[in-house]
Chain A
Amino acid sequence: MKKIENKSLAKAILKPGSVLVLFLILSVVSGVLASPHFLDFEYILAAMTQYIELGIVAIAFTFILISGEIDISVASAMTLSSCFAAILYNYGLPMGLVIAVTLLFGILLGLINGALTTFTKINSLIITLGTMSLYRGLAQILIGKGSVGDFPEWFVGIDRTKVFGFLPLSIFVFIVLIVIMEVILKQTFFGRKVFAMGTNDKVALYSGVKMHKNKLVLFGILGLFTGIAGIMQISRYGLAKYSLGLGGELDVITMVLLGGTAFSGGRGSTIGTALAFLVVVLIKISMTLINMERMIQLMIIGLLLVVTIIISDRLHKYQDLNS
């Protein structure tokens, strides 16, 4: 009798989700230990806005990963959209129109990845490895070696505009998008199809899920989100540069995997991604507050990613074995 009881307790604690909760607690604790200036709500909100674009991309990235695909060109696509918008504006287009066209452009970048993946049947990791460099290179060709800025007053500073008196607008956008996407994922038929595609693509196909069409849609959505992120990026910086967001894909992948989305697909949630975003951002804030060298910061995020993958994988196997 006792053995079964112990197993239930263990099963309850050792859920993949509990890793996330543990890391959340750890990130707050390490922040508090690192610096007395950490627990400042206003400061954390302000510092969070630096990473919010990557968080937004991570939301849509969750969908793609659940469906069994991946897109590591996201940071490059985001910056390419930024540079595209900057060039359009400096050519004389009004900013409102620039935003609309850039969003379409983002969708296009996503659809290119989707089309290449579905029609060549080459693994999306390989395809997007290529487009990662392609998009970054195009960004540099578009904008050159310097920075392009001079955007209208109303457009710049999305991170400093406050909603409800204290919440930076960019964080508000992030929260709204999380809610919308979580509803789509968990409450709609489309969301169920996404899970099905990632769990077993043959079963999904024979159940009537139009794989190609749906994958294209997902890549398109991810592209839209990189477009949104790209626009928010230049609003925050007030300028566009080809080197913005370099290495951002590492952060996005870390957030999504830490949030409980399985690398092999079939499992995940945007709420998990959002909480993981919080963990990563809190850790980064505390590392910056203690003047930790950038290279060591990179190492810690990398360590976090590796440990997350290993632990998540073990816990999923443990759950599967015992259910």
Chain B
Amino acid sequence: MKKLLVLLLVVVLVAGLFAGCAKAPAADAKADKADDATKTSSEEGAEDGSFTVVYIPYNTGNPYYDPIIQGFKDSVEAAGGIFETTASDTPDPTGQIPVIRAQIQKGVDVIALDPTSIDALNDVMDEARAAGVRMFCVGDDVLGNEEHREAAVIATEYRQIGYDSIEIFAESMGYEGQLAVLSATTDSPFQNEQIEIYKEVLAGEKYSNMEIVEVFYGDDEPEKSFTEAEAAIQKYPDLKGLMCPTTVAYVAAAQAVENAGLQGQVLVYGTAFPNQCREFIKNDVVTGAILWDTYRLGVVAGEFIDQVLHDGLVIAEGTKFQTSYGEAELIENNVIYAGPPLAFNKDNVDDYDF
């Protein structure tokens, strides 16, 4: 009887392991089939091979990436490629590096990375390129270390977002009062650049009655961002505003303000999806939010990569190319802006759905 039980348990575990792995053989078979199909049509002249693109965002379970992933997937598959996405569960270079290495090992054609650090990834990016993998940054860029990646596709000009958002926010605060920043991780490039811009703008005379009292870090985790927001409200009783350059922190801050019943007293602004901020705008907890078209970012990235791989698109400053949204251009350091910033408020938030 006991022997039987033991054998049964072993079978269950084996079944579990195989169930988890069953996905992979199917995917590999599909890749092989695609290769065979395109090999026969290569006489047409066009270099249409099947190619694998892996997108590695900051972390898993972050809803911000869903529209980007969808857009990226749609454009890569439309070009005949295979799209995969994977990430570590912590938005950290220590988590991202092993994930990138696994993709190199798998021999993917393209790695599109949203870098969690400006410099910690230099070595692994070089490793990838030495192994023949195309390396692009999609979402954020490795400022100061651009030579380690081939090009970067950014959603919009982030510096513009910084200037626009702090101005909109300062105006709603009446150009006076204490504000705190609720950011992501201490290393995240986008948020750090935004904070620099806030400080730069607030140093001006017009804003002399405003002060950033502290920067809190929510690590892009909903629960942690929420507790940090509450801590900010507790620690600074005169706090008038919470500026959140990340969608996770924005939602957490708005919830914290609403829970504490402080809407109108503590103003919240920052980056958020229209679907995230709609309720808060309707309940007068916030005046709005600012972001960019994330789906568009994914589409432009996919279309750019396809043209680089198959249409001989030259990666150099000044090169222009066509996307589903019109013309795009590579500017300094081979950066591409996928589109303009989008500011949401009571009047236009219902026009968007993402």
A residues within 8 Å of B by Cβ? Answer: 10, 14, 22, 26, 30, 33-37, 40, 43, 46-47, 50, 145-147, 237-239, 241, 243-244, 283, 286-296, 300, 303-304, 307, 310-311, 314-315, 317-318
Q: Are A30 and B186 in contact (CB under 8 A)?
A: no
Taking CB atoms, residues of chain B closer than 8 Å to A295 are 60-61, 89
Q: Are A286 and B21 in contact (CB under 8 A)?
A: yes
| Docked CA distance A286–B102 (Å) | 9
Taking CB atoms, residues of chain A closer than 8 Å to B120 are 238-239
Q: Are B13 and A37 in contact (CB under 8 A)?
A: no
> Can you list, as one digit per residue, whether each of B53-87 has a CB less than 8 Å from chain A (1) or not (0)?
00000001100000000000000000000001110
Q: Are A289 and B106 in contact (CB under 8 A)?
A: yes
| Docked CA distance A240–B157 (Å) | 32
Q: Are B14 and A35 in contact (CB under 8 A)?
A: no
Q: Are A33 and B6 in contact (CB under 8 A)?
A: no
Taking CB atoms, residues of chain A closer than 8 Å to B13 are 26, 303-304, 307
Q: Could you pull out 6 A-B pairs where Cβ atoms are within 8 angstroms?
A: A14-B6, A35-B24, A35-B106, A145-B217, A286-B21, A289-B106
Cβ-neighbour of B17 out of A14, A146, A300 (below 8 A): A300
| Docked CA distance A292–B186 (Å) | 27
Cβ-neighbour of B186 out of A10, A147, A290 (below 8 A): A147
Q: Are B18 and A37 in contact (CB under 8 A)?
A: no
Query: A26-B17, A291-B84 are contacts. A307–B12 as well, Cβ < 8 Å?
Result: yes
Taking CB atoms, residues of chain B closer than 8 Å to A37 are 105-107
Of B92-100, B133-141, B330-338, the stretch lying at the interface with chain A is B92-100
Main SS at interface, chain A: helix
Q: Are B23 and A290 in contact (CB under 8 A)?
A: yes
Taking CB atoms, residues of chain B closer than 8 Å to A288 are 98-99, 102
The yes or no answer to B144 lying at the interface (CB within 8 A) is no
Q: Which single residue of chain B is at the shortest CB-CB distance from A31?
A: B21
Q: Are B86 and A291 in contact (CB under 8 A)?
A: yes
User: Could you say which of B17, B106, B120 has the most chain A C-beta atoms within 10 Å of its C-beta?
Assistant: B17
CB-based closest 8 A-B pairs = A146-B186, A291-B86, A294-B89, A34-B21, A290-B24, A288-B102, A30-B17, A307-B13
Cβ-neighbour of A314 out of B6, B61, B88, B187 (below 8 A): B6
The yes or no answer to B20 lying at the interface (CB within 8 A) is yes
Q: Are A26 and B88 in contact (CB under 8 A)?
A: no
B residues within 8 Å of A by Cβ? Answer: 2-3, 5-6, 9-10, 12-14, 16-18, 20-21, 23-25, 28, 60-61, 84-86, 88-90, 92, 94, 98-99, 101-102, 105-107, 120, 186-187, 217
Cβ-neighbour of A26 out of B14, B86, B92, B106 (below 8 A): B14
Cβ-neighbour of B10 out of A35, A145, A311 (below 8 A): A311
Taking CB atoms, residues of chain A closer than 8 Å to B20 are 287, 290, 292, 296, 300
Q: Are B60 and A33 in contact (CB under 8 A)?
A: no
Taking CB atoms, residues of chain B closer than 8 Å to A243 are 90, 92
| Docked CA distance A46–B98 (Å) | 10
Add 15 more A-B contacts to A37-B105, A307-B13 (CB < 8 A).
Answer: A14-B3, A26-B14, A30-B18, A37-B106, A47-B98, A289-B102, A290-B21, A290-B23, A293-B60, A294-B60, A294-B89, A296-B20, A307-B9, A314-B6, A315-B6
Q: Are B2 and A318 in contact (CB under 8 A)?
A: yes
Query: A35-B24, A241-B92 are contacts. A289–B105 as well, Cβ < 8 Å?
Result: yes
Taking CB atoms, residues of chain B closer than 8 Å to A318 are 2-3, 6
Main SS at interface, chain B: helix
Q: Are B17 and A36 in contact (CB under 8 A)?
A: no
Taking CB atoms, residues of chain A closer than 8 Å to B6 are 14, 311, 314-315, 318
User: Could you say which of A14, A43, A289, A294 has the most chain B C-beta atoms within 10 Å of its C-beta?
Assistant: A294
| Docked CA distance A283–B20 (Å) | 11
Taking CB atoms, residues of chain B closer than 8 Å to A40 are 105
| Docked CA distance A182–B89 (Å) | 36
In whole Å, how far is B218's beta carbon from the nearest beta carbon of chain A? 10
Taking CB atoms, residues of chain B closer than 8 Å to A289 are 102, 105-106
Q: Are B18 and A33 in contact (CB under 8 A)?
A: yes
Taking CB atoms, residues of chain A closer than 8 Å to B16 are 300, 303
Q: Which single residue of chain B is at the shortest CB-CB distance from A160?
A: B123
In whole Å, how far is B58's beta carbon from the nearest beta carbon of chain A? 13
| Docked CA distance A291–B85 (Å) | 8
| Docked CA distance A218–B86 (Å) | 41
Q: Which single residue of chain B is at the shortest CB-CB distance from A244?
A: B94
User: Could you say which of B3, B20, B98 has the most chain A C-beta atoms within 10 Å of its C-beta?
Assistant: B20
In whole Å, how far is A208's beta carbon from the nearest beta carbon of chain B? 38
Query: A37-B105, A50-B98, A307-B13 are contacts. A147–B187 as well, Cβ < 8 Å?
Result: yes
Query: A50-B98, A307-B9 are contacts. A36–B28 as well, Cβ < 8 Å?
Result: yes
Cβ-neighbour of A33 out of B3, B21, B107, B217 (below 8 A): B21
Taking CB atoms, residues of chain A closer than 8 Å to B107 are 37
| Docked CA distance A295–B61 (Å) | 10
In whole Å, how far is A258's beta carbon from the nearest beta carbon of chain B? 12
Q: Which single residue of chain B is at the shortest CB-CB distance from A19?
A: B10
In whole Å, how far is A322's beta carbon from the nearest beta carbon of chain B? 11
| Docked CA distance A50–B99 (Å) | 11
Taking CB atoms, residues of chain B closer than 8 Å to A43 are 105
| Docked CA distance A227–B99 (Å) | 27
| Docked CA distance A36–B61 (Å) | 28
| Docked CA distance A177–B164 (Å) | 58
Taking CB atoms, residues of chain A closer than 8 Å to B84 are 291
Taking CB atoms, residues of chain A closer than 8 Å to B2 are 314, 317-318
